[in-house]
């Protein structure tokens, strides 16, 4: 109970302060955030990763961070920092949900449609559902981490799969942002965006395909 109360107090306090002191506006100001990080030099790398973790854990609006990373540091470094921060934030959220605030989260969000769909998806499709929802963000990434913490999935499995499956989008967003800054919007960029979208769609289809194949093999094995 003490852990739950402490989590609730910290969670609510951080969100209140984030809105009260303009931190949320700062996170959504692409130009301002980019300039701030660039002026920090290499320390900005650590700040960027920390921002990604805070955004994930406290469910703050951070959908532009991958773009900011690409604008400030280029495609390769920006994508690398994005995936490090995003995967760390996801893992910490998962650990908090599973071991610190599980009862509170169940009471607070147990009837939420997103939570119920994820629980049902994992029970029916296993880790392939996690792979699919990470590649195709039909649910917000941050909420997913807490929702998956309510399933029997282990921290190690969740962390490794999240890292691998969030990597394509992290690098795609960072590279696209970097391309726009250096070359502007062009036909080549539009073609690259189309190819990136097709790649993500293909990657999202694979786990479902393999899941069906595994179920078919299991069914044939039982018949024998």
Rounded to a whole number, what is the distance in angstroms from the first to the last CA of the chain? Answer: 51
Confidence tier at 156 by pLDDT (50, 70, 90): very high
In angstroms, rounded to a whole number, what is the distance separating the alpha carbons of residues 199 and 204? 9
For residue 62, give its domain range.
2-223
- Residue 104 has a pLDDT of 75
- Residue 220 has a pLDDT of 42
Chain centre distance of CA 171: 13
Q: Which residues contact 8 (CB under 8 A, 6 or more apart)?
A: 101, 104
Closest CA to 71 of 34, 41, 112: 34
pLDDT in tens, 79-90: 999 999 999 999
- Which phi and psi angles does 21 have, rounded to 5°? -105, 15
- Model confidence at 38: pLDDT above 70: yes
Question: How far lies 57's CA from each of 113, 151, 183, in Å?
Answer: 20, 18, 35
- Residue 79 has a pLDDT of 92
In angstroms, rounded to a whole number, what is the distance separating the alpha carbons of residues 108 and 9? 14
Q: Which residues contact 48 (CB under 8 A, 6 or more apart)?
A: 37, 65, 68, 69, 72, 73, 81, 85
- Residue 196 has a pLDDT of 60
- Residue 64 has a pLDDT of 79
**Mean pLDDT taken over the chain:** 77
Percent above pLDDT 90 for the chain: 18
pLDDT in tens, 46-56: 999 999 998 88
- Model confidence at 168: pLDDT above 70: yes
- Model confidence at 60: pLDDT above 60: yes
- Model confidence at 142: pLDDT above 80: no
Number of structural domains (the chain) is: 1
> What is the helix (H) or strand (E) element at residue 102, kind and residue range?
helix 102-109
């Amino acid at each position: 109970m003490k852990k739950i109360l402490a989590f609730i107090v910290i969670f609510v306090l951080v969100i209140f302060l984030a809105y009260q002191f303009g931190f949320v506006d700062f996170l959504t100001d692409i130009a301002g955030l980019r300039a701030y990080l660039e002026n920090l030099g290499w320390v900005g790398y650590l700040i960027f990763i920390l921002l990604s973790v805070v955004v994930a854990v406290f469910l703050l609006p951070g959908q532009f961070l991958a773009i900011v990373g690409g604008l400030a540091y280029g495609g390769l470094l920006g994508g690398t920092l994005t995936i490090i921060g995003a995967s760390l934030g996801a893992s910490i959220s998962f650990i908090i949900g599973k071991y610190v605030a599980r009862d509170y989260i169940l009471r607070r969000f147990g009837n939420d449609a997103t939570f119920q769909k994820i629980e049902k998806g994992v029970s029916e499709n296993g880790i392939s559902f996690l792979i699919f929802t990470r590649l195709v963000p039909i649910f917000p990434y941050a909420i997913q981490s807490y929702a998956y913490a309510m399933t029997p999935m282990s921290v190690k499995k969740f962390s490794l799969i999240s890292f691998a499956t969030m990597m394509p989008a992290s690098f795609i967003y960072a590279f696209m942002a970097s391309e726009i800054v250096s070359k502007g919007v062009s036909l080549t960029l539009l073609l690259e965006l189309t190819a990136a979208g097709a790649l993500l769609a293909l990657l999202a289809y694979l786990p479902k395909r393999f899941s069906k194949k595994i179920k078919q093999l299991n069914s044939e094995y039982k018949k024998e």
